[in-house]
Amino acid sequence: MRRIIVGAVLAGLGAGCGAGQGDARRPGAAVVDSAPVVAAPVDDRPVVLCFGTSLTAGLGLAPESAYPALLQRKVDSAGFRFRVVNAGVSGETSADGLRRIDWLLQQPQHLAVLILELGANDALRGQDLAAAARDLQAIIDRTRARFPGVRVVIAGMAAPPNLGTRYTREFRDLFVTLARDNHATLIPFLLEGVAGHPDLNQADGIHPTEAGARIVADNVWTVLAPLLRRVTREIGT
């Protein structure tokens, strides 16, 4: 990895130069340490952006136990050269994500894959699904405008049954339609194998435990690994 060496610029150094070299050895004279500062290595790996809710943020878990961190381990173990970024925010709706995406897209990075995990909080609040679909589409559109070659992964979710059969069906279909219309990769249900299993969820019955998060990471990895292989061939990373 290339390191950038940055020389220290000291404002007072030039002021004493005219007095001669003996000044620095006078009793009581200040001694300035002019050793160069070594900047941190630049991480130029293409980014896999996990953009979502508390499920992505890893609510109730240590950062290293959230599924994006587990994905990074899988990426490294497979020999891929990508950086997984956790951009999850607890309580975020699709509209909140739309308001936040522009800031993320301005960061100095090459975005290779967007994993879009939003919509669950829209359903929990019984919000209008047509509005959620428009917001999610706008997030994809803005991301592709900034990074035309980005791959998009849609994380499908399920609505609580108490919202009614029609709402739950339309909510499920929202992700299927979004993936189809955008030629994106669909994870049919992010929490497959975790939802409804008390031993794999925290006390709230919604957020995975560490064991549950490992299953979620496996669900994502099933579709992410083939994408990373294709991207690696295309960009030679």
CB 188 within 8 A of CB 156: yes
Alpha-carbon distance values, 184 to 40, 64, 71, 149, 223 (Å): 35, 28, 19, 12, 11
Instruction: Write out the DSSP string of 1-25.
Output: ----EE----TTTGGGGGG-GGGGG
Sheet holding 47-52, edge to edge: 83-88, 47-52, 111-117, 151-155, 185-187
Give the whole-angstrom CA distance, residue 210 versus residue 67: 9
Question: What's the token pair of residue 53?
Answer: 């809710």
Active site residues: 54, 204, 207
CB 177 within 8 A of CB 133: yes
